[in-house]
């Protein structure tokens, strides 16, 4: 078994924080081991909790649409979240929950070793880079501890906002141009 499969198994049975008590399914990241890009969201929603797969609800449809418009195939990228179990009512995961779950994201990053990590939305940006303000910082690259990150909006924020959707698509096109040069 690959180490990534091992991690996925650990996530599915994890009881490190209280979110394990209310989840239906834990949601490990998914995508090929040789993915060049990793996309990181906040936490599973209702649909993800039901299916045990990331970004398969309304936000996931947007993400898939945006990826395709920028020339990526969803099957070729790695998709995951800061926190792997659904917070009740889709509240923002607490600092303690984020801290508990962090080792899984770190293991995913180590194993996939992507060229760049696309951090989507304020929660992921705060958790991973200690900075929010996505409205100001979207489209930027941040290098931290030998890992390269790209900041953009969370696809859920674009569901009822066509203008933001257009901006997200532009950002992901910029990201696509960056990746071919890496
Ligand atoms: N929102 C997220 O942040 N992650 C998912 O997997 C689904 C919705
Ligand atoms: Fe474990 Fe993370 Fe789920 Fe908490 S959210 S139970 S740390 S997998």
User: Which domains are delineated in the chain?
Assistant: 3-181 (3.40.470.10)
What whole-number distance in Å separates Cα of residue 75 and Cα of residue 91? 28
Q: Is the CB of 54 under 6 A from ligand 1?
A: yes
pLDDT at site 1? 80
CB 18 within 8 A of CB 31: no
Give the residue from 77, 88, 110 showing the smallest Cα distance to 20.
Answer: 88
CB 144 within 8 A of CB 129: yes
Please give the distance, rounded to the nearest whole angstrom, from the Cα atom of residue 91 to the centre of ligand 1: 12
Q: Is the CB of 124 under 6 A from ligand 1?
A: no
Angle in degrees, CA 78, 79, 81, rounded to 5: 135
Please give the distance, rounded to the nearest whole angstrom, from the Cα atom of residue 8 to the centre of ligand 2: 12
Q: Is the CB of 44 under 6 A from ligand 1?
A: yes
How high is the mean pLDDT in each 10-residue block of the chain (182 residues)? Answer: 94 98 98 97 98 98 98 97 98 98 97 98 98 95 96 97 98 97 88
Which pTM value belongs to this model? 0.97
pLDDT at site 113? 97
CB 63 within 8 A of CB 54: no
Give the residue from 116, 169, 171, 176 showing the smallest Cα distance to 139.
Answer: 171
């Amino acid at each position: 078994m690959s180490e990534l499969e091992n991690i996925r198994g650990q996530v599915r049975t994890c009881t490190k924080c209280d979110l394990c008590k209310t989840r239906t399914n834990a949601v490990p990241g998914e995508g090929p081991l040789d993915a060049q890009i990793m996309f990181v969201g906040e936490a599973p929603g209702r649909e993800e909790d039901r299916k045990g797969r990331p970004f398969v609800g309304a936000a996931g449809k947007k993400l898939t649409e945006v990826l395709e418009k920028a020339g990526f195939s969803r099957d070729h990228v790695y998709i995951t979240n800061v926190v792997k179990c659904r917070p009740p009512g889709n509240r923002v995961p607490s600092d303690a929950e984020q801290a508990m779950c962090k080792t899984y994201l770190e293991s995913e990053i180590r194993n996939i070793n992507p060229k760049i990590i696309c951090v989507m939305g304020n929660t992921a940006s705060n958790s991973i880079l200690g900075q929010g303000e996505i409205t100001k910082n979207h489209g930027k690259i941040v290098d931290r501890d030998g890992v390269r990150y790209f900041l953009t909006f969370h696809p859920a924020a674009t569901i009822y906002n066509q203008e933001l959707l257009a901006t997200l698509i532009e950002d992901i096109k910029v990201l696509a141009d960056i990746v071919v040069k890496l």
